[in-house]
Amino acid sequence: MSVDVESRPPTRAKRIRPTAGAERPPATPEPPRLPGRRNPTWIALGVVALCLGGLLSYAIYSTVATDTSVVAMTRTVYRGEVVERADLTKVIVQGDSLPRAVPSRDLDSLVGQRAGFDLLAGSVVLSDAMSSATVPRAGRAVVGLRLNSGRSPAGLLLPSSPVRLVALPPSASETGTADKLAGKTYLARIVSSVPGADGTSNLVDVEVGSEQAPTIALLAAQDRIAVVRDPEG
């Protein structure tokens, strides 16, 4: 004999709703964060970097603080030549390596003065490099010469160079007392020398003794002068 049992749907669990006055269970607090471990190597490197940065800053400050701006030459100016503004510039030197150098603030005061000795391009100007002496000096005179090719050494007539002026014999068409001057020499110094407009002659200004200036001017007018370059003395 069989018994039919009617299947029943499963019963659902009843949800228990909390009443309005019921307390919620307390929340579990988060665990405290543990501080990260500090690497001693990185700390040491940081200290070293700070020290190096301080030393570098001090070195840069010391270098800048001791730098000095002085006057230097942009081109070569020979002894006796007048210094122009374009001949001068400003450069930086370290420390007090050149105590006699002219400070850059005094640059303009050098313009118009004459070089006391040869001032080479790129060299620093020293306090005793300039001379305010006028040309010609007392007891001296400046005479202009026009020297044809072969009457003077090429490229050696620099300002203030010592030279001898040699009187040449007159030409066959010239007569008179000027013949007595042939062969005489006169000591002089070059003031300036530039090429002539014709491209074959040189225009040279020389400083000579004032008592000899008339005779030298006469010889120059007669084209009877040759120039001999002497060693510095």
For the chain, the domain total comes to: 2
Query: Is there a domain that residue 205 lies in?
Result: yes
Query: Is there a domain that residue 197 lies in?
Result: yes
Q: Model confidence over 136-180: pLDDT tens digits?
A: 778 899 999 999 888 888 888 888 889 999 999 887 665 554 478
Query: Is there a domain that residue 192 lies in?
Result: yes
All residues at 6 or more sequence positions from 188 whose CB lies less than 8 Å from its CB, including other chains = 162, 163, 164, 165, 206, 207, 208, 216
Hey, what are 198's tokens? 């014709």
Q: Are residues 117 and 154 both part of a single domain?
A: no
Cα–Cα dist 45/178, whole Å = 94
Q: Are residues 218 and 148 both part of a single domain?
A: yes
pLDDT at 19 over 60: no
Most confident of 9-13, 87-91, 157-161, 177-181: 87-91
Query: Is there a domain that residue 85 lies in?
Result: yes
Q: Are residues 145 and 195 both part of a single domain?
A: yes
CB atoms within 10 A of CB 63: 11
- What pLDDT score was predicted for residue 54? 72
pTM of this structure: 0.55
Query: Is there a domain that residue 35 lies in?
Result: no
Cα–Cα dist 90/107, whole Å = 8
Query: Is there a domain that residue 121 lies in?
Result: yes
Average pLDDT, the chain: 79
Q: Model confidence over 179-194: pLDDT tens digits?
A: 788 889 999 998 888 8
Which domain-ending residue is among 83, 107, 131? Answer: 131
Q: Are residues 146 and 220 both part of a single domain?
A: yes
Of the candidates 93, 22, 29, the one whose C-alpha atom is nearest the C-alpha of residue 64 is 93
Cα–Cα dist 184/147, whole Å = 17
Q: For the residues of 8-71, what is the DSSP string, one character each?
A: -PPPPPPP-PPPTTPPPPPPPPPPPPPPPPPPHHHHHHHHHHHHHHHHHHHHHHHHHHHEEEEE
Which domain-ending residue is among 104, 131, 158? Answer: 131
| Domain harbouring 124, CATH code | 3.90.1210.10
Cα–Cα dist 55/163, whole Å = 60
- Domain residues for the domain of 147 are 140-229
